Amino acid sequence: MSEKTIGQEMLDKLSYKKKNIYEEATPEKIKDIYDYSEGYKKYLDVAKTEREATEAAIELARAKGYTEYKFGDKISVGDKKYLNQHGKSLILFSVGENDLEKDGIRILAAHVDAPRLDLKQVPMYEDSGMAFLKTHYYGGIKKYQWTAIPLAIHGVMVKSDGEVVKVCIGEDDSDPVFYINDLLPHLGAKQSQEPLGSAISGETLNILIGGLPYDDKEVSDKIKLTALSILNEKYGVTEEDFISAELSLVPAFKARDIGFDRALIASYGHDDRVCSYPAVTALLDNPDTKQTVMVVLADKEEIGSVGLTGMQSAFLVDLISEISVALGKNPIVVRGKSKCLSADVTACYDPNFADVYEKRNSAMLSCGTTMSKYTGSRGKSGTNDATAEFVGFIRKLFNDNGVIWQTAELGRVDMGGGGTVAMYIANHNIETVDLGVPVISMHAPYELVSKADVYSTYEAFCAFVK
C-alpha cells in the first residue's frame, strides 16, 4: 500500500464526505441490516392506515409488557404504557429513573397516516354497467399514479346502533381488489396534452366495485344493489352506514425487495412507517434505559397535523404534564429540558430528476439516516429551524455511537418544499430536529427506500433513547 501524501492526509482530516453504509459495512453488518428489514416489511403489510399502524404498534408493545394508560391514571418510575388516542394516534412511553427536571423526556415523533383515497360520505352509484364509489383524496398525491392499479379498501363503518365494523378487502390473495379506470392511449390524444397535475381530475378517481346486476327485472341500479347486498350480508351494513365510516383505498401491493441484490424495499406507506417502525423497535429493544422516553405515532401529518389526533392536538403536552406532575416535577421545566427527534422521511437524491436537487445538500441513497436542520419552503417558511447547539448535540451522539448518518434539505431552493411535525413540537418549548429515512418516489403508491437507511435510523433512535 502506498503512503498517503501530506495533502491527502490533510484532506481526509479536514473535509466532510458522506459514506455509503453498504461500502463501510462488514458482511455481518449487512446481514443485520437485511434481517431487520424482514420485520419492517411485515409491519408495512399489516399497517397501511393510521388505525392499523396504531394497532400493530400496540401489539408489538404489549408483547414487551406495555399496558394501556388513560388520562388520570397513576404513573410511577418503571412504568411502560401506551396512550391510545382514538385508535388513530399513539404514544408509547417508558418512565425512567433519571430526574425529569434535569434530563427531560426523549421524544421520537413519527406519523402513521399516509396519502390515499378516502371514500366520500355518500359514495355509491351506478353508471353504464358499472358500480362505483366516489373518493376524496387525502394528502399530497399525484392523481395519475392511482389509476389502473390494484387497490384495497381499509377502514371502519359505524352502524346505526353504534357498532364499529372493521373492513379490509383486497389484502388476502383470495380477495377481490378494486380499480380506477384510465383512458386508453388510442383515445388519449387530448388527455396527453394536459399538464400532469390536471390530466386526471379528483372527480374521476372513482373506484370500480362491480358489474353484476341484481337478479330482479323491476329494480333500478341493479349493480349497486348487488354491491349493497353483498356488504349487507358480509358486514350487516346499509348505504347510510357509509356516512359514519372512515374507508380508504390504498394500494393492494405488498412490500417487496427491489433489485438483484435486494438492497432496497418498495412499499406503500414508507412515509412514515419507515420512521415509526424504527422508533417503536428502538424503544422496545432498550427496556433498561434510565431515560424517560416517548414514541409518538401521530395521525393527520399529511394534511397539516391538525385535529383531534394530529400533532397540534393537546394530547402530547397533556401527557408530558401528567407524567411530570405524577413524579412531582414541574412540566414547564420538564418540557424545557426535553429533546425530540421529529422522525420523518426526506427526499432522496434521484439522478433521474437531478435538476430539482442540489447534490451537496441532498440525502444520498444508503448514506444513512438524514438530519434536516430545517424543512419548509421558500425563505425557510413553515419550518422549525433547529439550533446549531441542538444539531451539535445530536451530531456528537450519533458519532459517539458509530451511527452513519447524513444531512440534507428537501431539494433545490425555491423548487418546492414540505414540512413535518417538528415545528408543532418545538412550539411547546421542546428542542426538536428532523431525522429520518430518504425516500425515492415519495407519496407514490409504491415508494422506495434503502434497507441500510432504515437500519441506520433504527441505530440512531437506539442511541437517542438509551
User: Alpha-carbon Rg of the chain, whole angstroms?
Assistant: 24
Residues 6+ apart with CB under 8 A from 284: 60, 61, 64
Q: In the bound complex, what is the minimum distance in angstroms from residue 43's beta carbon to Mn ion?
A: 16
Please check whether residue 260 is in contact with residue 436, taking contact to mean a CB–CB distance below 8 angstroms.
Answer: no
Q: In the bound complex, what is the minimum distance in angstroms from residue 2's beta carbon to Mn ion?
A: 47
Q: Judge if the upstream peptide bond of residue 272 is cis by omega within 30 degrees of 0.
A: yes
Q: In the bound complex, what is the minimum distance in angstroms from residue 359's beta carbon to Mn ion?
A: 23
Residues 6+ apart with CB under 8 A from 364: 18, 20, 348, 349, 406, 438
Nearest one of 65, 47, 247 to 166, comparing CA atoms:
247
What is the β-pairing status of strands 346-347 and 438-439? parallel
For residue 207, the cross-strand partners are 133, 180
344 makes contact with Mn ion (CB under 5 A)? yes
Residues 61-120 that bind Mn ion (CB under 5 A): none
**Nearest residue (CB) to Mn ion, 242 versus 461:** 461
The angle, 0 to 180 degrees and rounded to 10, between the axes of the packed helices 27-46 and 270-284 is 110
59 membership: H or E segment, kind and range = helix 50-63
Please check whether residue 366 is in contact with residue 21, taking contact to mean a CB–CB distance below 8 angstroms.
Answer: yes
**Nearest residue (CB) to Mn ion, 135 versus 276:** 276
**Nearest residue (CB) to Mn ion, 206 versus 457:** 457
Q: In the bound complex, what is the minimum distance in angstroms from residue 123's beta carbon to Mn ion?
A: 25
Q: In the bound complex, what is the minimum distance in angstroms from residue 269's beta carbon to Mn ion?
A: 10
**Nearest residue (CB) to Mn ion, 272 versus 299:** 272
Report the 10 Å Cβ neighbour count for 221.
Answer: 16
Stretch of 3-11, 84-92, 226-234, 336-344 lying at the interface with Mn ion (CB under 5 A): 336-344
Q: List the grid coordinates of 111.
A: 406519523
Q: List the grid coordinates of 400.
A: 459517539
Q: In the bound complex, what is the minimum distance in angstroms from residue 443's beta carbon to Mn ion?
A: 6
**Nearest residue (CB) to Mn ion, 271 versus 431:** 271
299 makes contact with Mn ion (CB under 5 A)? no
Q: In the bound complex, what is the minimum distance in angstroms from residue 77's beta carbon to Mn ion?
A: 33
**Nearest residue (CB) to Mn ion, 131 versus 454:** 454
Q: In the bound complex, what is the minimum distance in angstroms from residue 389's beta carbon to Mn ion?
A: 26
Report the 10 Å Cβ neighbour count for 379.
Answer: 8
One character per residue 118-147, x = contact with Mn ion (rule: CB under 5 A): ------------------------------
Q: Judge if the upstream peptide bond of residue 45 is cis by omega within 30 degrees of 0.
A: no
One character per residue 247-286, x = contact with Mn ion (rule: CB under 5 A): ------------------------xx--------------
**Nearest residue (CB) to Mn ion, 111 versus 451:** 111
Stretch of 87-95, 203-211, 230-238, 343-351 lying at the interface with Mn ion (CB under 5 A): 343-351
Where do contacts with Mn ion occur on this chain (CB under 5 A)? 271-272, 344
